[in-house]
Amino acid sequence: MTEVILIFSALFLTGCIAVETRITAPIDITQTTCRALYQEMDAAIDNAGIRDHGSSPVQGFPYLRTTRLLASFSHELGNESPQWLAWIGHMADLDAQARALELRNLPSSAASWSKDTLLDELNKCRELLITIDLTQPEYRARLRDIVHVPDDYVTWWQALGLYPLTAPIVAAGISAWHSQTRDTFAMPLTSLPVAGRLLRWVPISTAITAATDASLPDKPLNTQQISGILRHSLDPLGIPLPTATELDQLFDTFAPVWEVDVMDENDRIGRVHWENGPTVDITYPTGYRKVSHTRFGNQVLLQLNYIVWFRARPGNDIYAGQLDGINWRVTLGPDGEPWLYDAIHNCGCYHEFFPSHQLRLRKNLPSAYFESPLLPQLAPEQQPLVLRIAHRTHFIQRVYHDSEPDVRSSAGQASQPMAWEDYDVLRSLPSDNEYRSLFGTHGLVAGTERSERFLLWPMGIRSPGAMRQWGRHPTAFVGRRHFDDAFLIESLFERTQ
CB 329 within 8 A of CB 288: no
Cα separation, 310 vs 269, whole angstroms: 5
Mean pLDDT of the 481-493 span: 98
Q: Given pLDDT bands bounded at 50, 70 and 90, which one contains residue 108?
A: confident
Q: Given pLDDT bands bounded at 50, 70 and 90, which one contains residue 291?
A: very high
| Lowest mean pLDDT, pick from 57-61, 105-109, 410-414 | 410-414
Say yes or no to pLDDT of 211 above 50.
no
Q: What does the mean pLDDT of the chain come to? A: 89
pLDDT value at position 347? 98
> How does pLDDT run across 145-203, given as a tens digit for each residue?
999 999 999 999 999 999 999 999 999 999 999 999 999 999 999 999 999 999 999 98
Helix axes 27-48, 2-14, angle to 10 degrees: 160
CB 260 within 8 A of CB 289: no
Length of the chain: 497
pLDDT value at position 22? 23
pLDDT value at position 209? 37
pLDDT value at position 408? 62
> How does pLDDT run across 404-414, given as a tens digit for each residue?
877 765 545 78
> How does pLDDT run across 233-250, given as a tens digit for each residue?
999 999 999 999 999 999
pLDDT value at position 198? 96
State which of 110-119, 128-137, 400-409, 469-478 shows the largest mean pLDDT.
469-478
Mean pLDDT of the 131-141 span: 93
pLDDT value at position 411? 45
Q: Is the backbone peptide bond immediately before 464 cis, with ω within 30 degrees of 0?
A: no
**Higher per-residue confidence, 107 vs 377:** 377
Cα separation, 343 vs 385, whole angstroms: 13
CB 347 within 8 A of CB 463: no
Q: List, as own/partner pairs, every contact residues 210-214 make where C-beta atoms lie below 8 angstroms and the sequence separation is at least 24, other chains included.
A: 213/245
pTM value is 0.91
Say yes or no to pLDDT of 3 above 60.
no
CB 259 within 8 A of CB 200: yes
Sign of CA dihedral 265, 397, 353, 421: negative
CB 355 within 8 A of CB 379: yes
pLDDT value at position 218? 57
Query: Which H, E and C letters describe the chain, residue by residue?
Result: CHHHHHHHHHHHHHCCHHHHHCCCCCHHHHHHHHHHHHHHHHHHHHHHCCCCCCCEEECCEEEEEECHHHHCCCCCCCCCCHHHHHHHHHHHHHHHHHHHHHHHHCCHHHCCCCHHHHHHHHHHHHHHHHHHHCCCHHHHHHHHHHCCCCCCECHHHHHHCCHHHHHHHHHHHHHHHHHHHHHHHHCCHHHCCCCCEEEEEEECCCCCCCCCCCCCCCCCCCHHHHHHHHHHCECCCCCECCCHHHHHHHHHHHCCEEEEEECCHHHCCEEEEECCCEEEECCCCEEEEEEEEEEECCEEEEEEEEEEEEEEECCCCCCCEEEEEEEEEEEECCCCCEEEEEEEECCCCCCEEEECCCEEECCCCCCCCCCCCECCCCCCCCCCCEEEECCCCCCEEEEECCCCCCCCCCCCCEEEEEEEEEHHHHHCEEECCEEECCCCHHHECCCCCCCCHHHHHHHCECCCCCCECCCCCECCCCCCCECCCCCHHHHHEEECC
> How does pLDDT run across 323-361, given as a tens digit for each residue?
999 999 999 999 999 999 999 999 999 999 999 999 999
pLDDT value at position 204? 86
Cα separation, 283 vs 295, whole angstroms: 39
CA torsion angle 153 156 162 163 (round to 10): 20
CA torsion angle 190 194 196 200 (round to 10): -50
Q: Given pLDDT bands bounded at 50, 70 and 90, which one contains residue 111?
A: low
> How does pLDDT run across 9-57, given as a tens digit for each residue?
333 333 333 333 221 222 344 788 899 889 989 999 999 999 999 999 9
From the list 313, 309, 318, the residue with the least C-alpha distance to 264 is: 313
pLDDT value at position 397? 98
Q: Given pLDDT bands bounded at 50, 70 and 90, which one contains residue 113?
A: low
From the list 350, 249, 237, 352, the residue with the least C-alpha distance to 298 is: 237
Helix axes 223-232, 244-254, angle to 10 degrees: 150
pLDDT value at position 6? 36
> How does pLDDT run across 472-486, given as a tens digit for each residue?
999 999 999 999 999
**Higher per-residue confidence, 216 vs 254:** 254
How do 386-389 and 271-274 pair as beta strands?
unpaired
